[in-house]
Amino acid sequence: MDKIRTILFIIAAIILSGCQSLSATPELQDKERQAPKAQDQSSASGIESKDPLAELVNTYWKLTHLDGFPVEMKEGQTREAHLQLMLKGNKVRGFGACNNFAGSFILNNSVLNDNFSNGNELSFGPLMSTRKFCHSVMDIETGFLQALRDTAYYSITKEKLTLFSESKEPLADFQAIYF
């Protein structure tokens, strides 16, 4: 019985010692606090951010236009369509007008880093979402998720984020919202 307790104690100690948070190091805490900002830049893509006042990551982006048309909340809708790109883990999450969604993103063909020298390239990995049906807003949600799938570039002007297709056509516009 004492052997079993000793073995269990050793296993528990090993498990607990492996659970140290990496973000406890000062270097990682500083990096998380200093999310990279989009910078004025010219790029080979021709898509530029001009005078950005909002950060691409760690910002709540409210969907305002989809394929050139304004997006407004419909009767009975309780939440606005939005997205948030999180620095930690290159994760994206949001609400498509009816369902929550989550996934990953790639910035400049690499994991997110402080080097924006490759231009404003942005793409989204596979997204997962809840599967509720909301008749009045499914067209918005379907278009929104398709815009994310088709995204190849982005630009930020002041507090407005625009997503562009591979052919540099605007897909969706967002407004930075602060709480």
- Whether 17 has a pLDDT exceeding 70, the answer reads no
For residue 2, what pLDDT is reported? 65
**pLDDT (average), residues 113-126:** 70
- Whether 115 has a pLDDT exceeding 80, the answer reads no
Separation between Cα atoms, residue 63 and residue 162, nearest integer Å: 10
CA 128 and chain centroid, separation: 13
Separation between Cα atoms, residue 159 and residue 13, nearest integer Å: 49
For residue 24, what pLDDT is reported? 35
**pLDDT (average), residues 68-82:** 92
Separation between Cα atoms, residue 42 and residue 159, nearest integer Å: 19
For residue 33, what pLDDT is reported? 37
Rounded-to-10 torsion of CA 131, 174, 55, 50 = 150
What is the enclosing helix (H) or strand (E) of 31?
helix 26-33
User: pLDDT band at 129, cuts 50/70/90?
Assistant: very high
In tens, the pLDDT along 24-60 reads 333 333 433 344 444 444 444 568 788 889 999 999 9
For residue 30, what pLDDT is reported? 42
Percent above pLDDT 90 for the chain: 58
Which residue from 132, 135, 106 is spatially nearest to 121, judged by alpha carbons? 106
**pLDDT (average), residues 3-17:** 51
Return the sign of the alpha-carbon dihedral for residues 148, 155, 59, 24.
Answer: positive
Contacts of 38 (CB under 8 A, 6+ apart): 49, 52, 55, 56, 116, 120, 154, 155, 156
In tens, the pLDDT along 141-170 reads 999 999 999 999 999 999 999 999 999 999
Separation between Cα atoms, residue 159 and residue 56, nearest integer Å: 10
**Domains plus CATH for the chain?**
2-177 (2.40.128.270)
